[in-house]
Amino acid sequence: MPLKTPEEYLESIKRPVNLYMFGEKVEEFWNHPIIKPSINTVMKIYELAQMDEYRSIMTATSHLTGEIINRFTHIHQSIDDLINKVKMQRLLGQHTACCFQRCVGFDAGNSLYSVTYEMDKKNGTGYHNRFKKYWIEVQNQDLMVDGAMTDTKGDRSKRPNQQPDPDSYLHIVDENDDGIIVRGAKVHQTGYLNSNRVIVMPTLALRAGEEEYAVSFGIDTNTKGITLVYGRQSCDTRKMEEGKLDIGNFKYGGQEIFVIFDDVFVPMENVFMKGEIEFSGELVNRFGGFHRQSYGGCKVGVGDVLIGAAALISEYNGTDKASHIRDKLVEMVHLNETLYSCGIACSSLGFQREAGNYEMDMLLANVCKQNVTRFPYEIGRLAEDIAGGIICTLPSEADFKSKEIGPLLEKYLVTCEGLCAEDRYRVLRFIENLTMGVSSVSYKTESMHGAGSPATQRVMISRLTDLEEKKKLVKDILDIE
């Protein structure tokens, strides 16, 4: 059965990479204190897939091989698959309280499955079989796959082929019978360093004259010519200090990478789009839809944890019986479950593509993500309200553990009888971590910009809404010709 253990996954990513952090090259990144929590997060995926109580959510049966596989490598074959995807993502958010990094490649794979089929049908190309062969390897080896879409984009007022620097968008610079050579960069790459492979996609709908930018392919993440720069996060160097209380979520974390492709060779058998500009926009839209569906699960799971932390700190503060605190917690639950409802709804109204795989309802997926750009901010605001201002004025762990002033801090941090001051300290730092992006990819900022910033969803909602049909409803009721 092709399911890796957490330990097998960890061994699979121990390979040389050209990685930089704080201006210095990093060797054996898997031992770096800033990076290790993000690896722990991915390992949790592999751990839960091994557990009987989560097997039905965390695994699926491959329609390509008939084997039991990790759901993150599955191509959706039913509406139940779409729903279980969202349930799985909520579960993982609950267990890690952060981004678990494996969704982007999952959504890229499901998008390419149908787009390659349709390209072949129209143009007589062989992309679909190439992709299936590639994805069977992913399934059989339980590989973690990143999805790379966002380019640096240069001057946003100019098209890709109008940029002063053509590398502002990743593009093909040369090719031969064996493969292609690409150059450019992909940014905001969630979990790239922790992935075995990456699927690269174009970042927008392309036009005639931009064929070199219409490229999609799969390669190993440590392929020659790729340079990685680790993204900074708020208070990330706390992970390098002694102790762990100031980190907040000291077990788990997210990861973002700036990926530079400098004349990288891609074998032709791993190329899934090469110049088909008419399909670039559809690939972007389908990926966007799948990834916006994802946020109805992952951010809800993190929200569950934040709500729990807010309830716990109200208990520690002695305010849990206050009616206004209970009302705020109810509002947090209401907002969080509304997000989940959107994720389940767009999955429940899914449909089957001609390629055989299932896709969510695109309009509701965009509505889901539009809500995600708003509700986590209110959930976070309420959590900060309940916690109190001490979450951003709390002295350091070094002070708390100091022989001289530690006892004084402990004396004054105790609230209710029988409460351990250190437990209160832990929960306060945890809320700080979640609401202010301390040492993790921010719950709020990622909710805003992940899977596209708010304007992108509004564009799709506008495109997918049939206003003429809605006007016709009124005319029918009022007998207007």
Query: For residues 336 and 307, is the Cβ–Cβ distance under 8 A?
Result: yes
Beta bridge partners, 24, equal 21
256 is catalytic: yes
Check residue 440 and give its pLDDT. 55
241 is catalytic: no
Catalytic residue of the set 41, 73, 116, 190: 190
Catalytic residue of the set 117, 192, 230, 295: 295
Question: Domain coordinates of the chain in residue numbers?
Answer: 282-472
Residues of the chain where predicted confidence (pLDDT) is lower than 70: 1, 438-441
Q: Helices 323-348 and 79-96: crossing angle, nearest 10°?
A: 150
Check residue 441 and give its pLDDT. 65
Check residue 439 and give its pLDDT. 54
397 is catalytic: no
- Between CA 172 and CA 63 the distance in angstroms is 33
446 is catalytic: yes
The string of pLDDT tens digits covering residues 233-246 is 888 999 999 999 99
> Among 231, 239, 248, 251, which Cα is nearest to 100's?
251
Catalytic residue of the set 76, 291, 316, 346: 291
Catalytic residue of the set 59, 98, 103, 358: 103
Check residue 446 and give its pLDDT. 86
468 is catalytic: no
Looking at domain 282-472, does it have CATH number 1.20.140.10?
yes
Which 3-state string (H, E, C) describes the chain?
A: CCCCCHHHHHHHCCCCCCEEECCEECCCHHHCCCCHHHHHHHHHHHHHHCCHHHHHHHEEECCCCCCEEEHHHCCCCCHHHHHHHHHHHHHHHHHHCCCCCCHHHHHHHHHHHHHHHHHHHHHCCCHHHHHHHHHHHHHHCCCCEEEECCECCCCCCCCHHHCCCHHHCCEEEEECCCEEEEEEEEEEEECCCCCCEEEECCCCCCCCCCHHHCEEEEEECCCCCEEEEECCCCCHHHHHCCCCHHHCCCCCCCCEEEEEEEEEEEEHHHEEEECCHHHHHHHHHHHHHHHHHHHHHHHHHHHHHHHHHHHHHHHHHCCCCCHHHHHHHHHHHHHHHHHHHHHHHHHHCCEECCCCCEECCHHHHHHHHHHHCCHHHHHHHHHHHHHCHHHHCCCCHHHHCCCCCHHHHHHHHCCCCCCCHHHHHHHHHHHHHHHHCCCCCCHHHHHHHCCCCHHHHHHHHHHHCCHHHHHHHHHHHHCCC
Catalytic residue of the set 256, 359, 384, 397: 256
Catalytic residue of the set 98, 99, 342, 346: 99
190 is catalytic: yes
432 is catalytic: no
Check residue 222 and give its pLDDT. 98
The string of pLDDT tens digits covering residues 408-437 is 999 999 998 889 999 999 999 999 999 987
99 is catalytic: yes
Catalytic residue of the set 188, 276, 298, 397: 298
Check residue 442 and give its pLDDT. 74
Phi, psi of 50 (to 5 degrees): -85, -10
Check residue 445 and give its pLDDT. 85
The two three-digit tokens of residue 156, written as one number: 């946003």
